């Protein structure tokens, strides 16, 4: 199992920074070049999260737009809606068509970049983010996402350099410290990574809705450093924020097993499997514990499931 977190894989999860906020769209809709009844219909559909209906209205109205500028405006709005709808290919296409007619605003360009990342087109995403960062050299947001692309492409030194700039610009950003810790760890600097993860966890704890990732990443590193009591504390903190976090259960199981608390470790491995069977290493670890305790049938079942899932391409 890869020890690092694939940063961009969690782009639309709890760790993501939202590119479009639904509370900013009603005003934008009310100011767009559409008849009042259609603007009202779009606002109602947005409130109901009926993005499909919004998509239908915008497609029809874009085709009937009076001017190229109006069509570009509606395509950009459609891109924002498609992003919320989860249709990244359509979002990227709409933003691209709009930008070809008239340069996008910063918020739409950033959303376009996020759609491109989700589509795996990191080269195009980097192009848009570089353009944004060049226009806002003292703004940490675009630099942060450029660093996350660096990390995903295993350009760890470049990611570290950017993220150190980011935390200098925004010293209270827990997510940036967490990402910096990941990159430092991949560069083989565990002690610096540990201090950075600790900073991320401390800042994260002060948030209204703390993320489970900073304490998890701290705990996983402490586990590798064989600081088992500290690892357990950090991993339990992660599970307080998200009791269904399978990776935290798995790593907690490893910490408990290393402390000789096999029964508790089995419970954590089973919890990891129940919350996310994709965490296949939990099957293997559970099988080893069953075998150690002479529970042969259960051990063989766990190993068989592990082999089945590995053969099926689950990592």
Q: Which residue has the higher pLDDT, 271 or 8?
A: 271
Tell me, what's the pLDDT at 219? 98
Residue position matching structure tokens 């969690």: 10
Residue 17 CB partners (closer than 8 Å, separation 6+): 141, 145, 175
The reported pLDDT for the residue numbered 231 is 98
pLDDT of residue 65: 87
In this structure, are residues 83 and 55 in contact, taking their beta carbons and an 8 Å threshold?
Answer: no
pLDDT for residue 133: 96
- The CA distances from residue 122 to 118, 156, 279, 308, in Å, are 9, 16, 26, 32
- pLDDT of residue 271 exceeding 90: yes
pLDDT of residue 171 exceeding 80:
yes
CA pair distance 214, 257, nearest whole angstrom: 22
- pLDDT above 70 (res 303): yes
CA–CA separation, 138 vs 135, rounded Å? 9
Average pLDDT of the residues in 291-305: 96
Least confident interval from 8-12, 41-45, 129-133, 167-171? 8-12
State the alpha helices, DSSP H only, in the chain.
Answer: 25-30, 36-47, 51-63, 68-85, 88-101, 106-118, 122-135, 140-152, 156-169, 174-186, 190-205, 213-224, 228-241, 246-258, 262-275, 281-292, 296-311
**The predicted structure's pLDDT at residue 5:** 36
pLDDT at 311 over 90: no
Please give the pLDDT value at position 277: 84
Q: Please compute the mean of the pLDDT values over residues 3-21 and round it to a whole number.
A: 39
Computed over every residue of the chain, the mean pLDDT equals 91
Q: What is the mean pLDDT of residues 11-26?
A: 50
Q: How confident is the model at residue 15 (pLDDT cuts 50, 70, 90)?
A: very low
Compute CA 305 distance to the chain's CA centroid, rounded to the nearest angstrom.
28
Predicted confidence at residue 109, as pLDDT, reads 97
pTM of the full predicted structure?
A: 0.85
The whole-number pLDDT of residue 314 equals 53
The arithmetic mean of pLDDT across residues 288-301, rounded, is 97
pLDDT in tens, 77-126: 999 999 999 999 999 999 999 999 999 999 999 999 999 999 999 999 99
Average pLDDT estimate for 12-34 = 65
Burial of 4 (0-12, 13-18, 19+ CB in 10 A): middle
Return the pLDDT at 33: 86
More confident residue, 14 or 308: 308
């Amino acid at each position: 199992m890869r020890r690092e977190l694939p940063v961009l894989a969690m782009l639309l999860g709890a760790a993501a920074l939202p590119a479009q906020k639904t509370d900013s769209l009603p005003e934008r809709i009310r100011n767009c070049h559409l008849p009042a009844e259609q603007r009202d219909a779009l606002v109602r559909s947005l409130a109901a999260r009926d993005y499909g209906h919004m998509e239908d209205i915008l497609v029809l109205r874009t085709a009937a737009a009076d001017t190229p500028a109006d069509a570009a405006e509606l395509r950009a709005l459609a891109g924002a809606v498609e992003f919320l709808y989860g249709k990244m290919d359509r979002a990227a296409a709409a933003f691209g068509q709009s930008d070809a007619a008239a340069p996008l605003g910063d918020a739409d360009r950033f959303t376009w970049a996020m759609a491109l990342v989700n589509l795996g087109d990191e080269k195009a995403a980097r192009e848009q983010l570089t353009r944004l960062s060049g226009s806002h050299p003292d703004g940490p947001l675009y630099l942060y996402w450029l660093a996350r692309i660096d990390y995903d492409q295993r350009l760890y030194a470049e990611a570290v350099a950017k993220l150190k700039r980011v935390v200098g610009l925004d010293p209270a950003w827990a997510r940036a410290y967490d990402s910096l810790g990941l990159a430092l760890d991949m560069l083989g600097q565990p002690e610096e990574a540990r201090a950075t993860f600790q900073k991320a966890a401390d800042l994260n704890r002060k948030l209204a809705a703390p993320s489970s990732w900073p304490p998890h990443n701290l705990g996983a590193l402490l586990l590798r450093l064989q600081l088992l009591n500290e690892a357990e504390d950090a991993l339990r903190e992660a599970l307080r924020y998200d009791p269904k976090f399978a990776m935290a259960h798995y790593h907690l199981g490893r910490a408990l097993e290393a402390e000789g608390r096999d029964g508790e470790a089995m419970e954590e491995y089973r919890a990891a499997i129940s919350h996310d069977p994709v965490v296949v290493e939990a099957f293997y670890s559970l099988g080893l514990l069953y075998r150690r305790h002479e529970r042969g049938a259960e051990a063989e079942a766990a190993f068989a499931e592990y082999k089945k899932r590995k053969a099926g391409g689950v990592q």
